[in-house]
């Protein structure tokens, strides 16, 4: 499997949402670098297994973004574990992680696990609601979070999560300049090739979610958009 460090474009599929076979095939065969399975609400073991087995009909790598301990399904290529750095509740920073390790620690396939340091930047998103995240404030604050993830905690991924709304490309650009080792993931509100390309100039990996369920053909164009951006800053 291609390493995460080579992923430029990722489609995020929500197990709690319906997608027909034809659309799923288009998404999986789109040339995207990976499918990320994850969502903030309604994710269960059953709907996650179902989605994994449907995605497995295609060659695309498939990773699980772990958000529910009881919905961790074996058989994914990779497990991305979010640590929501600006969560209001410690549950989303270390709480569920410690509980999970207490229960499943001996069985964790560590070579298939990566941590994502999230900063949630859209107060109206469901991820903000679930994690009780607090908006960091200004760009300076977000850059401090980026340094926290990159230099202090040495997390492999720093994720600017604007879920549901298109973020500020200038912020993404400035954050990218701040990072030394962490890979920058951007996700939120991408609806067309132009937006995907714009964010891909700065973010290492661009994550596209909701538009898949709103207009799949429009979603497919984001793959080309990211490719035309070339190498990020």
For residue 193, the minimal CB distance to ligand 1GP (Å) is 14
The reply to whether 164 sits near ligand 1GP by the rule CB under 6 A is yes
DSSP letter, residue 71:
G
Q: Which is nearer to ligand 1GP, 38 or 61 (CB)?
A: 38
Cβ contact 203:185 at 8 Å: yes
DSSP-derived 3-state class of residue 69: helix
Stretch that binds ligand 1GP, among 42-50, 67-75, 111-119, 205-213 (CB under 6 A): 205-213
The reply to whether 208 sits near ligand 1GP by the rule CB under 6 A is yes
For residue 94, the minimal CB distance to ligand 1GP (Å) is 20
Q: Restricting to residues 9-28, name those near ligand 1GP by CB under 6 A.
A: 12
Q: Which of 221, 176, 213, 172 is nearest to 196 (CA)?
A: 221
What string of DSSP letters covers 157-195?
EEEEE-TTS---HHHHHHHHHH-SSSEEEEES---SHHH
Stretch that binds ligand 1GP, among 133-141, 142-150, 160-168, 198-206 (CB under 6 A): 160-168
Q: Which is nearer to ligand 1GP, 132 or 151 (CB)?
A: 132
For residue 195, the minimal CB distance to ligand 1GP (Å) is 10
Q: Which is nearer to ligand 1GP, 73 or 128 (CB)?
A: 128
Q: Which is nearer to ligand 1GP, 52 or 162 (CB)?
A: 162
Cβ contact 114:78 at 8 Å: yes
Residue 105 in tokens: 């620690």
Q: Using the rule CB under 6 A, which residue among 119, 207, 220, 229 binds ligand 1GP?
A: 207
Q: Which is nearer to ligand 1GP, 188 or 225 (CB)?
A: 188
How far is C-alpha 100 from the chain's CA centre? 20
Counting every residue, how long is the chain?
233
**CB contact burial 106-132 (16+ within 10 A = b; e otherwise):** eeeeeeeebbbbbbbbbeebebbebbe
The reply to whether 161 sits near ligand 1GP by the rule CB under 6 A is yes
Residue 141 CB partners (closer than 8 Å, separation 6+): none
Binding site for ligand 1GP (CB under 6 A): 12, 161, 163-164, 187-190, 207-211
């Amino acid at each position: 499997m291609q390493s995460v460090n080579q992923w430029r474009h990722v489609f995020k599929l929500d197990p709690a949402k319906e997608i027909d076979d034809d659309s799923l095939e288009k998404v999986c065969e789109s040339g995207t670098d990976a499918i990320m399975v994850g969502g903030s609400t309604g994710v269960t073991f059953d709907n996650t297994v179902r989605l994994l087995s449907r995605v497995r009909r295609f060659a695309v790598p498939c990773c699980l973004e772990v958000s529910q301990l009881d919905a961790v399904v074996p058989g994914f290529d990779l497990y991305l574990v979010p640590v929501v750095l600006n969560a209001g509740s410690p549950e989303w920073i270390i709480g569920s992680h410690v509980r999970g390790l207490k229960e499943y620690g001996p069985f964790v396939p560590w070579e298939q696990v990566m941590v994502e340091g999230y900063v949630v930047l859209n107060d109206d998103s469901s991820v903000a609601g679930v994690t009780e995240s607090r908006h960091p404030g200004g760009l300076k604050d977000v850059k401090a979070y980026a340094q926290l993830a990159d230099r202090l905690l040495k997390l492999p991924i720093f994720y600017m999560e604007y879920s549901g709304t298109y973020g500020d490309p200038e912020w993404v650009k400035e954050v990218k300049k701040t990072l030394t080792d962490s890979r920058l993931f951007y996700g939120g509100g991408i609806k067309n090739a132009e937006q995907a390309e714009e964010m891909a100039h700065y973010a290492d990996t661009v994550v596209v979610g909701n538009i898949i369920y709103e207009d799949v053909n429009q979603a497919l164009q984001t793959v080309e958009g990211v490719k035309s951006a070339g190498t990020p800053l």
